[in-house]
Amino acid sequence: MKKLVVASNNKGKIKEIKEILKDKYQVVSMGEMGYAGDIEENGETFFENALIKAKTISEFFGCDALADDSGLCVEALNGAPGVYSARYAGEHGDDKANRDLLLKNLDGKTNRRAKFVSSIVLVKADGSVVQGLGETYGTIGYSEEGTNGFGYDCIFISDDLGVSFGLASDEQKNSVSHRYRGLIDLLNNL
């Protein structure tokens, strides 16, 4: 089975990608491969950030590298937090603070429509680029529901499932998630 290096150290993201691609690739994180540095995500779009990460790891190891840049886009907040989803409250990766700030910013708003977006980029060892895009739609709940998943999962009520991703099993979430749809789109573009 071909090895695929994922340009991420996000444990939740790595777990999902491994599960979704388990029949096609041996998925390893950049950390498992020995890349200890951080990659600055200074792009203005999900695609730009995914490309930066995948290109960095592909060039570093001389192999195929995959990156996902994803986030939550809320209609009533003009698409925020968007590309700043992981650092919405200031510190990168503080999921609880990010959720709390989002719920505070939605206080009193009746439009709670939202979508998760995932831009998947594969940079091959030869430098060629393949991309995939996935979206999943839902609403933002009024409080946290469930402990499964990570990030905003426990406040995102999936249109497809009728419950928050925090209440969904891994299998349920991975069958309708933005990341699943983005990876399928990428595989279809190979």
Q: Which of 121, 43, 139 is nearest to 82 (CA)?
A: 43
Beta strands in the chain (DSSP E): 2-6, 25-29, 65-74, 113-123, 129-140, 156-158
Mention every residue, 6+ apart, whose C-beta is less than 8 A from residue 110.
none
CATH number at residue 23: 3.90.950.10
Active site residues: 69
Domain containing 158 equals 2-189
Q: What is the pLDDT of residues 20-48, one digit of tens each?
A: 999 999 999 999 999 988 899 999 999 99
pTM here is 0.95
Could you give the CA distance from residue 168 to residue 2 in angstroms, rounded to a whole number?
30
Q: Report the alpha-carbon distance of residue 182 to residue 24 in Å, rounded.
A: 15
Domain count within the chain: 1
Interval 89-148: pLDDT, tens: 998 889 999 999 999 999 999 999 999 999 999 999 999 999 999 999 999 999 999 999
Three-state DSSP class for residue 17 = helix
The three-state secondary structure class of 78 is coil
